[in-house]
Amino acid sequence: MTSAQPQGSRLQGRTAIVTGAGQGVGEGIARRLASEGANVVIAARRAETGDPIAASITAVGGRAACVVTDVTDRTSMANCVATTIEMYGSLEIMVHNAFAGARAHRLEEARIDGTFDDDWTAMSRTSVWGSLYSAQAAFEHLRTAGNRGRLILLTSPSGIEGSANIPLYSPAKAAQRAIAKSLAREWGEYGITVNCIAPVAASPALIRVFKEVDGLQAATAARTPLGRVGDITSDIGSVALFLASDDSSYVTGQTIVCDGGSFLGL
């Protein structure tokens, strides 16, 4: 499934911001939420990637707009939320997916005992600080939304089990899980739920890594019981839809690993 053609109304009247929705998993989530009636803000760093996604959603009857956003900048994230409220009047769902970094998937380039300052800064600023800024910017509106308020953070199976090849990607993603658990406790009194998705999906980033690292795609397929890599919209977007909808009203502080069963150690 790649279109955002309206299929249902589970999110009718609700507004979602999806960061990093100019491509990959964020794009898939944005399309799936829009297909169920949500107003969707494509929070992308570049209009060149975000505008076409928003246009393709509106072209099939959905409601979407791109707001150029840098999740590593507190003011930019706050402006994104303010613009969203101006356009749609409310914010019920914040999905923080944006991520940059983790270029090194070759062990010799990713030694913990080596140097990695630039990579770490990119990963930390987008994943962890982006979680801080997106949560803070959305908080008052999610509290107003009450039991329809949702914060969803995109983490990774590597954030649970660690990784030799991307050793610092793992702690960045682990931090997001701890933030989700903590905010589930902290914001529960307002009815807001906070959860994580740990996907493995055919995003441009993963496809690029498959091309760069010999044997990785075959190894990934071999350890995946379902024998395929997830689709950004039908597989990952549908999990986000569940977490964004009333169907998940009693689920909070959890991580849903959505990877075809390759990681079973949660």
Partner 1 sequence: MSNSGRVIRPRFDPVARPFHEITDEQFDAAFERPLQDTIAELQDAYRSGVKRMVVVVPTTAMSGGNRYAHTAAAAEAIRVLVKSAARQWGASGVTVNAIAVDPASVLDDVHVAGPVSIAPRALGSADPRALIEFLCSEAAGDVTGQTFNVDGGQLM
134 part of the interface to partner 1, by CB under 8 A:
no
97 vs 176, beta carbon nearer partner 1: 176
| DSSP labels, the chain | ---------TTTT-EEEEETTTSHHHHHHHHHHHHTT-EEEEEES-HHHHHHHHHHHHHTT-EEEEEE--TT-HHHHHHHHHHHHHHHS---EEEE---------SGGG--TTS--HHHHHHHIIIIIIHHHHHHHHHHHHHHHHGGG-EEEEE--THHHH--SSSTTHHHHHHHHHHHHHHHHHHHGGGT-EEEEEEE-B--HHHHHHHHHSTTHHHHHHHT-TT-SPBPIIIIIIHHHHHHHSGGGTT--S-EEEESTTS----
Q: Is 154 in the site for partner 1 (CB under 8 A)?
A: no
CB of 237 to partner 1, least distance (A): 26
Shortest Å, Cβ 160 to partner 1: 7
Contact present, 157 and 113 (Cβ < 8 Å): no
Report, in Å, the least distance between residue 30 CB and partner 1: 25
Q: How far is the CB of 176 from partner 1 (least distance, A)?
A: 8
Considering only 21-29, 95-103, 126-134, 241-249, which stretch makes contact with partner 1 by CB under 8 A?
A: 126-134
162 touching partner 1, by CB under 8 A? yes
Q: Which is nearer to partner 1, 87 or 178 (CB)?
A: 178
Q: Considering the rule CB under 8 A, would residue 17 count as an interface residue with partner 1?
A: no
Is the Cβ–Cβ distance between 201 and 238 less than 8 Å? Answer: no
The site map against partner 1 for 176-215 (x = CB under 8 A) is xxxxxxxxxxx-----------------------------
- Which of 129/210 has CB closer to partner 1? 129
Residue whose CB is less far from partner 1, 4 or 102: 102
- Under the criterion CB under 8 A, does residue 136 sit at the interface with partner 1? yes
CA distances (Å), 16 to each of 123, 132, 149, 213, in order?
A: 24, 17, 10, 35
List binders of partner 1 among 46-105 (CB under 8 A): 74
Task: Give how many residues touch partner 1 by CB under 8 A.
Answer: 39
User: 84, 97, 163, 238: which one contacts partner 1 (CB under 8 A)?
Assistant: 163
Residues that bind partner 1 (CB under 8 A): 74, 107, 111-113, 124, 128-129, 132, 135-136, 139-140, 159-164, 167-168, 170-186, 253
